[in-house]
């Protein structure tokens, strides 16, 4: 049957059938041959090319259209991979002879691309795009501002995100959620950022904007309460959820947040109570409960809970085992950790990654099984990284095994010399090895290490100490509730 233009259009618009690059190129050729230049149709073709990771062909659709078309450009920026989206935007900015006035959607899509690939380079690029937004007067668009908050928060610049938030005249629920989520997602200064998130939640409740927290808001607030580790605050948030948002046991995400919060705030029985009442549980719920049991020293119950996941049709993933192994490590459950690691691949078909191997080395090292930890590292099917060797070197210093410490330290320094690690990181490794020798009063070896640092011009990172004070934030006074936990 001949391949007609009508058939090409119908095939292109049929999203239910998967397409290949070869198939899309055939459709593309027919559109060119028959002079079909409808922007909606070409936008659909761009979308389909990006869906099969064929960005060069998607870009050709835009280039061969003729006159610059903002709709097609926005479609390409929205559908392409983040790095390609940023590159496309930068190329069109540089085309002064074919200048195209970008609209709000252009900035929303390209800033969103910067948010999805956090790095130092995308942070710089996103700031330049934000500068263009300010110069061209589209900053009043609430979606542009909210996406900018999300971008800054994802790139660990929470101060800039808050500045954008504070300058907004109008905010939606999505805006508040973006800022609160931004605080809760920071891996550095977690308690300080958690306190800021709770303060922002208070402002949301007492403000005159007429907005109410959503379930997404409450999941983030529960995360902040767990990071704070204050049971009173978490319990009051729980009470507020029950009174104004939903029944926690009916929402898998809020229920999981409660299990995690109570476990981290030291109230394991409350976590178990919420867990047992939940009608639906996903892998994160089971992971949170099993981890809570492990960090409270009930490792055997955690492993039993892990075995029971299969009865509910839930399969543990790599994150589940990372959380459990880490918990076993901090509590010192050596036998349970070894048993769990063995079950990963044999029983659950989860291939151990670097994070799992790191937990095992830390577990064995803390327990003083340094020889076993070293043999474990040497028998790994993947090459150990510097973090793993540092963990073992620290254990050698704690347990006073100078011979093993010297061996591990030299391996770590050799690894650093092969890599492009910065000077500060390498200086810490030299100092760690020097401290191992110093603890055993092997001053000649200390002098050799220090002399090697001088020859290689490696400066020691100066030490410092800090004292952080933080006022306790009472959510109970904000929401005006006193809630007694149900048994």
Dump pLDDT digits (tens) for 238-282. Answer: 988 888 877 877 889 999 999 999 998 889 999 999 999 998 898
Q: Is residue 108 situated within a structural domain?
A: no
Q: Is residue 241 situated within a structural domain?
A: yes
Domain that holds residue 210: 184-264
Q: Is residue 209 situated within a structural domain?
A: yes
Dump pLDDT digits (tens) for 128-139. Answer: 999 989 887 777
Dump pLDDT digits (tens) for 328-341. Answer: 887 788 888 888 88
Dump pLDDT digits (tens) for 51-108. Answer: 888 888 888 888 887 777 889 999 999 999 999 999 999 888 887 555 678 889 999 9
The pLDDT of residue 144 is 92
Q: Is residue 256 situated within a structural domain?
A: yes
pLDDT of 151 > 90? The answer is yes
Q: Is residue 202 situated within a structural domain?
A: yes
Q: Is residue 32 situated within a structural domain?
A: no
Dump pLDDT digits (tens) for 282-336. Answer: 899 998 998 888 888 787 788 788 778 877 888 888 888 888 888 788 778 888 8
For the question of whether the overall pTM of this predicted structure is more than 0.95, the answer is no
Q: Is residue 30 situated within a structural domain?
A: no
pLDDT of 154 > 70? The answer is yes
The pLDDT of residue 423 is 40
Total domain count for the chain?
Answer: 1
The three state secondary structure string of the chain is CCCCHHHHHHHHHCCCCCCCHHHHHHHHHHHHHCCCCCHHHHHHHHHHHHHCCCHHHHHHHHHCCCCCCHHHHHHHHHHCCHHHHHHHHHHHHHCCCCCCCCCHHHHHHHHHHHHHCCCHHHHHHHHHHHHHHHHCCCCCCHHHHHHHHHHHHHCCCHHHHHHHHHHCCCCCHHHHHHHHHHHHCCCCCHHHHHHHHHHHHHHHHHCCCCCCCCHHHHHHHHHHHHHHCCHHHHHHHHHHHHHHHCCHHHCHHHHHHHHHHHHHCCCHHHHHHHHHHCCCCCHHHHHHHHHHHHHCCCHHHHHHHHHHHHHHCCCCCHHHHHHHHHHHHHHCCHHHHHHHHHHHHHHHCCCCCHHHHHHHHHHHHHCCCHHHHHHHHHCCCCCCCHHHHHHHHHHHHHHCCHHHHHHHHHHHHHHHHHCCCCHHHHHHHHHHHHHHHHHCCCHHHHHHHHHHHHHCCCCCCCCCCCCCCCCCCCCHHHHCCCCCCCC
Window from 130-134, 167-171, 359-363, 413-417 with minimum mean pLDDT: 413-417
The pLDDT of residue 463 is 55
Q: Is residue 442 situated within a structural domain?
A: no
């Amino acid at each position: 049957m001949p391949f007609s233009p009508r058939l090409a259009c119908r095939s292109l618009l049929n999203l239910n059938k998967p397409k290949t690059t070869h198939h899309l190129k055939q459709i593309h050729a027919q559109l060119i041959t028959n002079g079909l230049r409808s922007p909606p149709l070409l936008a659909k073709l761009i979308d389909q090319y990006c869906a099969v990771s064929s960005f060069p062909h998607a870009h050709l659709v835009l280039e061969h259209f003729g006159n610059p078309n903002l709709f097609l450009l926005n479609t390409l920026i929205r559908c392409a991979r983040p790095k390609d989206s940023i590159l496309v935007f930068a190329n069109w900015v540089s085309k002064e002879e074919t200048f195209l006035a970008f609209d709000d959607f252009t900035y929303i899509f390209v800033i969103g691309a910067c948010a999805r690939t956090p790095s130092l380079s995308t942070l710089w690029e996103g700031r330049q795009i934000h500068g263009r937004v300010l110069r061209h007067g589209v900053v009043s668009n609430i979606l542009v501002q909210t996406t900018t908050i999300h971008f800054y928060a994802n790139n660990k610049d929470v101060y800039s995100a808050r500045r954008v938030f504070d300058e907004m005249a109008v905010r939606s629920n999505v805006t508040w959620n973006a800022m609160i989520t931004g605080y809760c997602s920071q891996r550095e200064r977690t308690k300080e950022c958690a306190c800021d998130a709770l303060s922002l939640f208070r402002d949301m409740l007492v403000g005159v904007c007429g907005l109410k927290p959503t379930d997404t808001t409450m999941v983030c607030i529960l995360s902040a309460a767990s990071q704070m580790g204050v049971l009173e605050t978490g319990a009051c948030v729980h009470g507020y959820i029950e009174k104004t948002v939903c029944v926690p046991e009916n929402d898998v995400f809020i229920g999981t947040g409660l299990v995690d919060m109570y476990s981290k705030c030291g109230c394991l029985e409350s976590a178990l109570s919420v867990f047992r009442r939940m009608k639906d549980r996903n892998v994160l719920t089971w992971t949170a409960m099993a981890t809570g049991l492990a960090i409270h020293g009930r490792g055997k119950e955690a492993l039993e809970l892990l075995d029971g996941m299969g009865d509910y049709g839930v399969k543990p993933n790599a994150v589940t085992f990372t959380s459990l192994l880490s918990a076993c490590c901090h509590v010192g459950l050596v036998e349970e950790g070894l048993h769990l690691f063995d079950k990963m691949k044999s029983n659950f078909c989860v291939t151990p990654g670097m994070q799992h191997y790191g937990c095992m080395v830390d577990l064995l090292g803390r327990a003083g099984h340094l020889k076993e930890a070293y043999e474990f590292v040497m028998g790994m099917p993947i090459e150990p990284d510097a973090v793993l060797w540092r963990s073992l070197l620290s254990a050698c210093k704690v347990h006073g095994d100078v011979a093993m410490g010297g061996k591990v330290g030299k391996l770590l320094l050799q690894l650093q010399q092969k890599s492009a690690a910065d000077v500060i990181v390498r200086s810490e490794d030299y100092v760690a090895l020097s401290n191992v020798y110093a603890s055993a009063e092997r001053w000649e070896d200390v002098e050799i290490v220090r002399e090697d640092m001088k020859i290689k011009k490696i400066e020691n990172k100066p030490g410092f100490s800090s004292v952080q004070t933080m006022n306790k934030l009472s959510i109970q006074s904000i929401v005006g509730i006193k809630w007694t936990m149900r048994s």
